[in-house]
C-alpha cells in the first residue's frame, strides 16, 4: 500500500475523538483500583479495631497525608508520562518533597528520643510484614494504572512504569494505614517507603515490555 | 537573519498543522486528511535524514509512524504544541526500529531537537517494502470487514454495519482494534 493510500485510509471516516482521554482513563483506573485495594484490606487484614480513637491523633492524619501527597505526585507524573512529548515538569519535585518532609520529621523524632526508645521507634512491632502488605495492597491499583497507561501512549517506558508503580504503592500504603497500628514517623519513613518502592521497581522493570505500542 | 525566518516559518507550520489537528479531532475528516498528508512529507524528510544508513526502511517507518499518530490521536491535547507531540512519536518509533535492528546499525544523528520534525518536508515517497494491504488481510474478520467497508470503501458506520451484519458499535470497535492490531503486527516484525 502506498503511503498516500494509507493516509486516505486512516482519514476516511475517522470521526471525532472525545477529549480528555487521559483524565477519563486515570479516573476509571483509580476508582476501580482503590475500590479493589480497600476491599482486599477489609477482607484479608481488617480495619484497625481502635480506628475511632486513632482518628483523634494528629499522627494518624500524618500517616494518611504522607502517602496521599506521594500519590498526587505520582499521579501527576504518570499522566504526564502517558502522553508523547509532555515534559515531567515539577513532577519529580512533587514526589521527592513528601519523602524529604517525612524523613526530616523522622530524624527529629529520633534525635529527641531517648537512646533506649529508638529501636522501638524504627522497628515498631510489624516491620517485617509492613512492606510486603503495602506491596500486596498496591496490586489492584497497579493493574489498573498499567491498564490506563497501556491505553495511552507513553514514550519513556521504564519511567512510565515506575510512575504507575509508585501511584499503586502510595495508594496501597494509604489504604494499609487504615489497618496498620504503627504511629511513629521513623517507622513510616522506612517501612512504608520500602513497601511503595516494591511496586515502583516492578513497574520500572515490566514497563518497557508491557507498555510498548 | 535566516534563523529568524526559519523560526517564523516553523511557527506558522505549527499553527496551521495544530489547527488541522484540532479540527480533525473534532470530526473534520478533510482537515484530518490534509494533516496526515502534510505530516507524511515532514516525517519522510525527518526520518530520511536520521536513517541515512537504512534508506530502504524510511517509507515503512513513515507508514508505521502515521499509523501510530492515528492510533494515539486521543493522547493529543490542544494545550500542547503539536510539534512536541509528533516529534515524540516519531522519535519513539525511530528508536524502536533501531532497537529491533540493534547492534547492526548505529545512530549518528542527534534526536533531541523537536523543532526539526517540521523543518523539512519531502513528498517523494519511495516504495514501502512492507505491504499494509497484505497485513490487513491477516486480521480476523470482525476487524478486517469493518476496516474494509469503512476505511477502504468509505461506507458510513450504519452502511458498514448493514454490509457486515455486525452491530454499529462492533463496527467501530473492530476498526479501532484492527488498526491497533495492525500496528502490533508491524512492531512484532511479522511484516
Q: Which sequence spans correspond to the domains of chain A?
A: 30-210
- Closest Cα in chain A to B130: A1
Question: Which cell numbers in the block locate residue B102?
Answer: 540493534
Contact in structure between B44 and B51 (CB atoms under 8 Å): no
pLDDT of residue A19: 92
- Closest Cα in chain B to A80: B75
Question: Which cell numbers in the block locate residue A9?
Answer: 485510509
Instruction: Determine the distance in angstroms separating the CA of B167 from the nearest CA of chain A, rounded to an integer.
Output: 17
Which residues in B lie closer than 8 A to residue A6 (C-beta atoms)? 63, 66-67, 132
CB contact under 8 A, A3 and B66: yes
pLDDT of residue A54: 87
- Share the mean pLDDT of chain A: 95
Instruction: Determine the distance in angstroms separating the CA of B147 from the nearest CA of chain A, rounded to an integer.
Output: 9
Instruction: Determine the distance in angstroms separating the CA of B9 from the nearest CA of chain A, rounded to an integer.
Output: 21
**Nearest CA-CA partner of A14 in B170, B150, B80:** B150
Contact in structure between B165 and B141 (CB atoms under 8 Å): no
Question: Which cell numbers in the block locate residue A13?
Answer: 471516516
pLDDT digits (tens, 9 = 90+) for A56-114: 999 899 999 999 999 999 999 999 999 999 999 999 999 999 999 999 999 999 999 99
CB contact under 8 A, B133 and A83: no
Which residues in B lie closer than 8 A to residue A79 (C-beta atoms)? none
Among the partner-chain residues B40, B76, B150, the one whose CB lies closest to the CB of A12 is B150
Q: CATH number for the B130-191 domain, one of 1.10.10.10, 1.20.120.1730, 3.40.50.300, 2.40.33.20? A: 1.10.10.10
pLDDT of residue B5: 82
pLDDT of residue B104: 53
Tell me: pLDDT of A186 over 90.
yes
Checking B93-100 for CB contacts under 8 A at 24+ apart, the result is: B93/B61, B93/B64, B93/B65, B93/B68, B94/B47, B94/B50, B94/B51, B94/B61, B96/A212, B96/B187, B97/B51, B97/B57, B97/B61, B97/B64, B100/B189
pLDDT in tens, chain B (191 residues): 677 788 888 888 999 999 999 999 999 999 999 999 999 999 999 999 999 888 889 999 999 999 999 999 999 999 999 999 999 999 999 999 988 877 555 555 566 777 778 888 888 777 788 888 889 999 999 999 999 999 999 899 999 999 999 999 999 999 999 999 999 998 876 54
Question: Which cell numbers in the block locate residue A6?
Answer: 494509507
Contact in structure between B85 and A85 (CB atoms under 8 Å): yes
Mutation for testing the A interface, residue in B74, B99, B154, B157 having most A CBs under 10 Å: B74
What pLDDT band is residue A14 in, cutting at 50, 70 and 90? confident
pLDDT of residue B110: 60
Query: CA B183, A141, A165: angle at the middle one, nearest 5?
Result: 70
Instruction: Determine the distance in angstroms separating the CA of B1 from the nearest CA of chain A, rounded to an integer.
Output: 29
pLDDT of residue B89: 97
Among the partner-chain residues B24, B40, B154, the one whose CB lies closest to the CB of A3 is B40
ipTM score for this prediction:
0.90
Residues 6+ apart with CB under 8 A from A92: A77
For chain B, which residues make up each domain, given as ranges?
Answer: 1-128, 130-191
pLDDT of residue B11: 87
CA distance B173 to A116: 65
- Positive or negative torsion for Cα A121, A123, A125, A130: positive
CB contact under 8 A, A22 and B75: yes
pLDDT digits (tens, 9 = 90+) for A131-181: 999 999 999 999 999 999 999 999 999 999 999 999 999 999 999 999 998
Among the partner-chain residues B27, B33, B36, the one whose CB lies closest to the CB of A15 is B27
Judged by a CB distance cut-off of 8 A, whether residue B58 touches chain A is no
Which residues in B lie closer than 8 A to residue A20 (C-beta atoms)? 77
CB contact under 8 A, A7 and B88: no
Contact in structure between A26 and A78 (CB atoms under 8 Å): yes
3-state SS, residue B113 = coil
Amino acid at each position: 500500500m502506498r503511503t498516500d493510500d494509507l493516509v486516505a485510509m486512516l482519514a476516511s471516516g475517522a470521526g471525532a475523538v472525545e477529549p480528555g482521554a487521559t483524565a477519563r482513563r486515570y479516573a476509571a483506573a483509580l476508582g476501580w483500583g482503590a475500590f479493589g485495594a480497600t476491599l482486599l484490606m477489609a477482607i484479608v487484614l481488617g480495619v484497625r479495631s481502635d480506628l475511632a480513637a486513632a482518628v483523634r491523633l494528629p499522627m494518624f492524619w500524618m500517616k494518611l497525608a504522607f502517602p496521599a501527597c506521594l500519590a498526587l505526585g505520582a499521579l501527576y507524573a504518570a499522566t504526564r508520562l502517558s502522553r508523547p512529548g509532555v515534559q515531567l515538569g515539577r513532577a519529580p519535585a512533587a514526589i521527592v518533597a513528601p519523602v524529604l518532609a517525612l524523613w526530616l520529621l523522622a530524624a527529629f523524632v529520633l534525635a529527641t528520643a531517648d537512646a533506649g526508645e529508638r529501636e522501638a521507634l524504627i522497628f515498631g512491632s510489624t516491620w517485617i510484614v509492613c512492606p510486603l502488605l503495602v506491596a500486596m495492597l498496591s496490586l489492584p491499583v497497579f493493574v489498573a494504572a498499567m491498564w490506563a497507561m497501556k491505553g495511552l501512549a507513553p514514550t519513556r517506558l521504564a519511567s512510565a512504569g515506575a510512575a504507575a508503580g509508585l501511584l499503586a504503592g502510595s495508594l496501597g500504603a494509604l489504604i494499609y494505614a487504615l489497618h496498620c497500628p504503627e504511629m511513629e514517623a521513623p517507622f513510616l519513613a522506612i517501612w512504608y517507603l520500602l513497601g511503595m518502592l516494591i511496586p515502583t521497581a516492578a513497574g520500572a522493570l515490566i514497563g518497557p515490555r508491557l507498555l510498548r505500542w | 537573519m535566516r534563523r529568524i525566518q526559519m523560526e517564523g516559518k516553523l511557527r506558522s507550520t505549527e499553527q496551521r498543522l495544530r489547527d488541522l489537528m484540532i479540527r480533525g479531532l473534532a470530526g473534520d475528516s478533510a482537515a484530518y486528511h490534509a494533516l496526515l498528508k502534510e505530516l507524511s512529507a515532514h516525517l519522510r524528510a525527518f526520518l530520511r535524514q536520521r536513517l541515512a544508513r537504512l534508506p530502504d526502511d524510511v517509507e515503512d517507518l513513515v507508514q508505521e509512524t502515521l499509523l501510530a499518530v492515528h492510533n494515539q490521536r486521543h493522547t493529543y491535547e490542544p494545550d500542547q504544541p503539536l510539534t512536541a507531540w509528533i516529534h515524540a512519536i516519531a522519535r519513539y518509533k525511530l528508536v524502536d526500529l533501531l532497537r529491533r535492528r540493534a547492534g547492526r546499525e548505529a545512530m549518528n544523528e542527534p534526536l533531541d531537537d523537536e523543532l526539526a520534525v517540521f523543518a523539512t518536508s519531502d513528498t517523494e515517497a519511495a516504495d514501502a517494502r512492507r505491504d499494509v494491504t497484505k497485513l490487513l488481510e491477516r486480521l480476523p474478520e470482525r476487524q478486517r470487514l469493518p476496516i474494509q467497508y469503512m476505511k477502504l470503501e468509505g461506507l458510513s458506520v450504519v452502511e458498514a454495519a448493514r454490509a457486515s451484519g455486525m452491530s454499529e458499535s462492533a463496527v467501530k470497535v473492530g476498526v479501532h482494534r484492527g488498526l491497533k492490531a495492525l500496528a502490533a503486527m508491524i512492531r512484532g516484525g511479522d511484516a
